[in-house]
Amino acid sequence: MKIKNKLKQITGSGYFLISIILIYFFLFIFKQNLFFSSISFFCNIFFKIIPIFILVFILMALTNYFITPKFIMKHLGEKGIKKWFFVILGGILSSGPIYMWYPLLADLKSKGLSYGLIACFLYNRAIKIPLLPIAFFYFGWKYIIILSFIMIIVSVIQGIILNKLMEVKNENSYSVRRKR
Amino acid sequence: MKKIKINKKNIKEAIIKAGKGLLKALPMIFGTILLISLISVLIPKSFYTTIFSKNIFLNSFIGSLIGSISAGTPITSYIFGGELLKQGISLLAVTAFLVAWVTVGIIQLPAESAILGKKFALLRNITAIFLAIIVAIITVLLLGMI
């Protein structure tokens, strides 16, 4: 029973790691040269990213301290173009898993936030300030700045597209209901 | 000058939350780096060049598709994308892969559909797959110009 309970506690990523370790275990037994080459490759990457992880941790703690869901909810209530601006900023600054934000967004939807603004918020969650050091390390600051800038613009475009599409879909379902 | 009030309890909570967040991501990060290391040793670079042909649209489409079905934290996507780039895969395909990884949520689709609506969730994810290709093309073009 105890083993069963402990197995239940293992997450999907835990199973992923265990299966990879098992592959390495078999490699160690049957193909030692492949095992050692892979481990040396692993160490090479791992030691390079340790300092970046420390920086990521500090930035994550700072974001958690200053940017709370309450802070973001307060500013999402702005009007006009300001609303888009705060939705973009809210998306970028929000932290935690994405599904944590669904109930809050659904609540804001019932209070008048459009589907487009919700989509824009979710798109901008892809831009993570605490993870910038690791992104710079792999791709360089020039690439990441250009990518982030394009993503912000595209998030607004996706918002506008979704507003239009949801409007059309809603109108269609409304007319079908009326015909009935 | 206005003084910033520092709440010790909130600082502790913020540090614990950050630690938990990173710790939660660690198995996936370790697993990904181990997998990448194995793949890098096993598969020759020439293999990737056969999958990712010279056609830029096909390249970015494949990248976007793989990114859409992949799951994990953005840190993993950066590590994976960065290593793919080192293996010789085009920046266009890697960019589409990165953007799709973080903007398309196939795994979260059931939760998103249940809370925000099925139509919205489907339309948002489908448009995000195609927008990842557009973002990749514009980014690579701009990077070449600047």
Q: What's the pLDDT tens digit per position in A84-123?
A: 888 898 888 877 667 667 777 777 777 677 899 999 999 9
Determine which of A24, A124, A134, A150 to mutate to test the interface with B (most B C-beta atoms within 10 Å): A150
Q: How far is CA A124 from the centre of its chain?
A: 9
Q: Whole domain around residue A170: which residue ranges?
A: 68-179
Q: Give mean pLDDT, residues B93-99.
A: 91
pLDDT at position B4: 61
Choose the final residue of a domain: A10, A44, A63: A63
Same domain? For A59 and A72 the reply is no
Which residues does A78 contact at the CB level (< 8 Å), separation at least 6?
A85, A86
Same domain? For A123 and A110 the reply is yes
Mean pLDDT of chain A: 81
Nearest Cβ partner for A38 among B13, B24, B38: B38
Same domain? For A158 and A81 the reply is yes
Choose the final residue of a domain: A63, A79, A107: A63
Same domain? For A161 and A80 the reply is yes
Nearest Cβ partner for B115 among A103, A147, A158: A103
Measured CA to CA, the distance from residue A24 to residue A43 in angstroms comes to 14
Burial of residue A179 (CB within 10 Å: 0-12, 13-18, 19+) is exposed
Q: CB distance from A148 to chain B under 8 Å?
A: no
Same domain? For A96 and A165 the reply is yes
Nearest Cβ partner for B18 among A23, A64, A109: A64
**Distance (Å) from the C-alpha of residue B111 to the closest C-alpha of chain A?**
7
Number of domains, chain A: 2
Same domain? For A27 and A93 the reply is no
Same domain? For A155 and A171 the reply is yes
Q: Please indicate whether residue B53 or residue A57 has the higher confidence score (pLDDT).
A: A57
Helix (H), strand (E), coil (C) string for chain B: CCCCCCCHHHHHHHHHHHHHHHHHHHHHHHHHHHHHHHHHHHCCHHHHHHHCCCCHHHHHHHHHHHHHHCCCCHHHHHHHHHHHHHCCCCHHHHHHHHHHHHHCCCCCHHHHHHHHCHHHHHHHHHHHHHHHHHHHHHHHHHHHHC
Nearest Cβ partner for B31 among A20, A65, A146: A20
Measured CA to CA, the distance from residue B22 to residue A53 in angstroms comes to 9
Does residue A162 have a pLDDT over 80? Answer: yes
pLDDT at position A7: 66
A112: left (phi over 0), alpha (psi -120 to 50) or beta: left
Q: Please indicate whether residue B78 or residue B54 has the higher confidence score (pLDDT).
A: B78
Same domain? For A9 and A92 the reply is no
pLDDT at position A5: 72
Which residues does A69 contact at the CB level (< 8 Å), separation at least 6?
A94, A101, A104
Does residue B48 have a pLDDT over 70? Answer: no
Same domain? For A29 and A80 the reply is no
Q: What's the pLDDT tens digit per position in B58-74?
A: 888 888 888 787 766 67
Q: Are A133 and A52 in contact (CB under 8 A)?
A: yes
- Assembly ipTM: 0.76
pLDDT at position B72: 64
Q: CB distance from A49 to chain B under 8 Å?
A: yes
Same domain? For A164 and A92 the reply is yes
Domain residue ranges in chain B: 8-145
Measured CA to CA, the distance from residue B144 to residue B86 in angstroms comes to 18
Q: Of A65, A111, A116, give the one whose Cα is nearest residue A88.
A: A116
Measured CA to CA, the distance from residue A13 to residue B107 in angstroms comes to 13
Does residue A168 have a pLDDT over 70? Answer: no
Q: Pull the structure tokens for residue A22.
A: 């098992």
pLDDT at position A156: 95
Q: Give mean pLDDT, residues A122-143.
A: 88
Choose the final residue of a domain: A63, A79, A98: A63
pLDDT at position A174: 46
Measured CA to CA, the distance from residue A128 to residue A142 in angstroms comes to 16
Judged by CB atoms closer than 8 Å, whether chains meet at B79 and A45 is answered as yes
Q: Are A104 and A74 in contact (CB under 8 A)?
A: no
Which residues does A87 contact at the CB level (< 8 Å), separation at least 6?
A76, A117, A120, A121, A124, A159
Q: CB distance from A128 to chain B under 8 Å?
A: yes
Q: CB distance from A118 to chain B under 8 Å?
A: yes
- State the pTM of this model: 0.72
Same domain? For A37 and A74 the reply is no
Does residue B47 have a pLDDT over 70? Answer: no
Same domain? For A44 and A111 the reply is no
